[in-house]
Structure 1
Amino acid sequence: METRYYFIFAAVFVVLQLFLYIFNRTLGWLYGAFLPQQGRYLFAILSYLLANGIILLTVLRVSPSLFRVTPYILVILLYSAFISLAFGIIWWLGKSYFQSPRLLAWAYPVAMFGLISVSVYNAYTPKIVHYQITLDKPLNPLRIGLASDFHLGTLFGAKQMDQLAAIFDQQKVDLILLPGDIMDDNVDAYLSQQMQPSLAKLKAPLGVYATLGNHDFFGDQQRIAEQIKQAGIKVLWDQTETIHQEFMIVGRNDDLVKDRPSTAQLLESVDTSLPIFVLDHRPSEIEQISQLPVDLLVAGHTHNGQIFPANLITKLTYRLAYGHEKIGHGHFIVTSGYGFWGIPMRLGSQSEVVIIDVKGKE
């Protein structure tokens, strides 16, 4: 295992203990009058043992299937910490009016239900984000539909692809770009739930192009690419494609593929006087690519953090973690993604479909 994963595990372990401490102190404060002291101690011990046990069994790969449970535990404890902080401030500001925390005790499950409901809504209800960009090269007006990070699997599938196809149809896009993480690690759920007809509904006059993301490269990339291809979508494996001699699309493998050619190498044999659109799943090489004759790069991967405060971490990690920025003569757009990873929750981010109206130099 790489060294960085040990640091990540250590950080998660420390944060988990803090969240568990806040969780148990809050329950003791709000519900202490209803529970005997021994019962509170027993509950606290069990919560520490259960949460830490699940994470240890996952990390040590004794029970890898528990990996899906870990994010739920962390998110529920995170939301509990948010509520505890808010209630602590309310109690401090209104302590002269409160006789006991009984009202807050009733409000606690309501607040938790509210946070979870908002998070699920954000995960399954996409917003449509519009960008307008003008290139430094001639090009007829073009409308691009952008969506990434579907993570097609048991929690996100055919219904969402039907909805995405309807959005692209309604927006009358000319071209669709899908920069990675189409599947959630493998095609098992995709096949068993017969999602291909829904994925195949993604159509545009100038075609639909995809690259593979890190989750597509977790060992099942050949089957994933084949299923995407069977849905009528062109998969670009570090390849370039010229569209009607008007512009070029460059599709890069995710940087999980350590020996992938650089963008500069991919551009060596192409006509760089044409507008060049790059699909790169992770926005990890924006500064390098901004030095090249690339006119538009689209990426995903970050999910805009998915759940606050992770968006603060992604902002520190990437030159552009979300949104649109013009760097040099090129435009760079990073989407928060149409799906989600791990759990169907988003807080401080929302599922989105991006529509890019592109104009050329007059």
Structure 2
Amino acid sequence: MIFLLLLGVPAGLGHFYLWRRLVVDTTRPGTLGRRIGTFAVAGAFVLLMSALVVTRRVPPEYGKFFAWPGFVWLALLFYLAIALGVAEVPRRLLLRRATTAPVAVGTGAEPVEPVEVVPDPGRRLFISRSVAIGSGIAAGSVVGYGMTQALGAPQLLTVPVALDKLQPSLSGFRIAVVSDIHLGPLLGRSHTERIVRMINEQEADLVAIVGDLVDGTVAELGEAAAPLRDLVSRHGSFFVTGNHEYFSGHEQWISELDRLGVNPLRNEGLTVAGGIELVGVNDVTGRSYGDGPDFGRAFAGRDRANPVVLLAHQPVQVADASSHGVDLQLSGHTHGGQMVPFNFVVPVQQPSVAGLSKVDDTWLYVSRGAGFWGPPVRVGAPPDITLIELKSAG
């Protein structure tokens, strides 16, 4: 209910705004066009809410019929509201000028009667319709472009990171990092197969999946996740929970990933390649499920002479990581903002939107993720798979 209120109330206000600008302002009262437009906006709101509710209650093979139109419309609604909002000032200026003024004539010394300014309905309709059409074209173009980005192959990035404690013999050790795959009603087995193929082509030393793999249960999405068994690397594949795993039955997914040969790290660590401490902690959402992060347990028995690489879904966990002497934290969660201008909102909650940064003495790398949540749209935040190449600073 809280989730629906948080999205439903803004969505309802957004639809009301669109109804005013796209229907009321562009049609005459009582016309068939206004009735059709009103029905269309109301139907779009119902479609969006159905996508939010139904996709959580039915298997993905049925949920996709609600998810595709509903979530694409959510993106259109968002960018239409932005386009119309940007157009408000010029629209109002143009409407103010869209008046007719009868010419008053005075004779001799007689005073001229004040002129009554009368709105020109035809010109006002023309301006409102022009703004509506222009906003629709702009929003549609942005969403269309964003869909090609979201549904296309992830970018393959290579990011070198120098670690002071890394043995020179391990310089060049490569970790393939992927996050936020978000298997669900819109992304299935073919999405996983492409990710696995791209990672395997890089011949990485280690694969790290840093949370938000799924949006659904093992029964619903086990087949979609199955290609993960084909991941190949010299030192194995590892996984930590994201917030969406807890919404999807995290215990089932931990067991399923273990069965697929992807090793879950649940507040624990191990030494890899004879000189790198690999540690994984649960997502902070796990606290509500009795399965939260435990840094003390995770770091127990680790050799602090070796560099510590931490897998943690949310970048905000870097505060704890830094206090425990982590050299490099690998995270996801933010999607890089997914759709501009959300990239400007992410810093309110997280210390980094995407890419490599440093918090105290800890390097933090945040992947934009290989999938998407909600709208199948990415604007200004293309999906990625990253090869972290460790370098010896000595």
Q: Same fold (TM over 0.5)?
A: yes
Offset of 1:27 from its aligned partner? 1.2
Which of 117, 128, 131 is the equivalent residue of 2:156?
128
| Residues 193-236 of structure 1: CA deviation (Å, up to 9, x unaligned) | 5x41x222321112111112121122522321222223221111
**Distance between the aligned counterparts of 2:8 and 2:135, measured in 1?**
25
Which residue of structure 1 lines up, in the alignment, with residue 81 of structure 2? 81
Which residue of structure 2 lines up, in the alignment, with residue 119 of structure 1? 146
Within the alignment, does 1:350 sit opposite 2:378 as a pair? no
Alignment of 1:219-238 (within 5 A): 220-238=249-267
| CA separation of 1:339 and 1:53: change in aligned 2, threshold 3 A | closer
Secondary structure of residue in 1 paired with 2:323: coil
- One-letter identity of the residue aligned with 1:205: R
| Residues 89-117 of structure 1: CA deviation (Å, up to 9, x unaligned) | 67679999xx7346555545443432221
TM superposition score normalised by structure 2: 0.77
Alignment of 1:151-230 (within 5 A): 151-192=182-223, 195-196=225-226, 198-218=227-247, 220-230=249-259
| CA separation of 1:64 and 1:312: change in aligned 2, threshold 3 A | farther
**Distance between the aligned counterparts of 2:221 and 2:57, measured in 1?**
21
Q: CA RMSD in A?
A: 3.4
| Residues 20-43 of structure 1: CA deviation (Å, up to 9, x unaligned) | 23312321377426x855752674
TM superposition score normalised by structure 1: 0.83
- One-letter identity of the residue aligned with 1:120: M
| Structure 1, unaligned runs of 5 or more | none
Which of 24, 38, 51 is the equivalent residue of 2:19?
24
**Distance between the aligned counterparts of 1:156 and 1:294, measured in 2?**
34
- Are 1:154 and 1:189, in contact at CA under 8 Å, matched by a contact in 2? no
- Are 2:164 and 2:393, in contact at CA under 8 Å, matched by a contact in 1? yes
Alignment of 1:282-361 (within 5 A): 282-361=314-393
Secondary structure of residue in 2 paired with 1:240: strand
**Distance between the aligned counterparts of 1:53 and 1:106, measured in 2?**
22
My pick for the range that moved more, 174-183 or 70-79, is: 70-79
My pick for the range that moved more, 48-57 or 169-178, is: 48-57
| Residues 232-260 of structure 1: CA deviation (Å, up to 9, x unaligned) | 21111211121132111111111222253
- One-letter identity of the residue aligned with 1:292: H
**Distance between the aligned counterparts of 2:50 and 2:281, measured in 1?**
35
Offset of 1:56 from its aligned partner? 10
| CA separation of 1:253 and 1:199: change in aligned 2, threshold 3 A | same
**Distance between the aligned counterparts of 2:205 and 2:340, measured in 1?**
34
- One-letter identity of the residue aligned with 1:234: N
- Are 2:166 and 2:276, in contact at CA under 8 Å, matched by a contact in 1? no
Which residue of structure 2 lines up, in the alignment, with residue 150 of structure 1? 181
Offset of 1:11 from its aligned partner? 5.4
Alignment of 1:58-97 (within 5 A): 71-72=71-72, 74-88=74-88
Which residue of structure 1 lines up, in the alignment, with residue 100 of structure 2? none
Secondary structure of residue in 2 paired with 1:284: helix
- Are 2:356 and 2:365, in contact at CA under 8 Å, matched by a contact in 1? yes
- One-letter identity of the residue aligned with 1:47: V
Secondary structure of residue in 2 paired with 1:40: helix
| CA separation of 1:91 and 1:170: change in aligned 2, threshold 3 A | farther
- Are 1:174 and 1:204, in contact at CA under 8 Å, matched by a contact in 2? yes
Secondary structure of residue in 2 paired with 1:321: coil
| Structure 2, unaligned runs of 5 or more | 98-122
**Distance between the aligned counterparts of 2:47 and 2:208, measured in 1?**
42
What is the aligned length?
352
**Distance between the aligned counterparts of 1:335 and 1:57, measured in 2?**
27
- One-letter identity of the residue aligned with 1:122: Q
Larger Rg: 2
Offset of 1:86 from its aligned partner? 4.8
**Distance between the aligned counterparts of 2:244 and 2:384, measured in 1?**
19
Offset of 1:298 from its aligned partner? 0.7
- Are 1:287 and 1:319, in contact at CA under 8 Å, matched by a contact in 2? no
Offset of 1:331 from its aligned partner? 0.8
- Are 2:27 and 2:33, in contact at CA under 8 Å, matched by a contact in 1? no
**Distance between the aligned counterparts of 1:122 and 1:25, measured in 2?**
31
**Distance between the aligned counterparts of 1:71 and 1:46, measured in 2?**
16
- Are 2:325 and 2:362, in contact at CA under 8 Å, matched by a contact in 1? yes
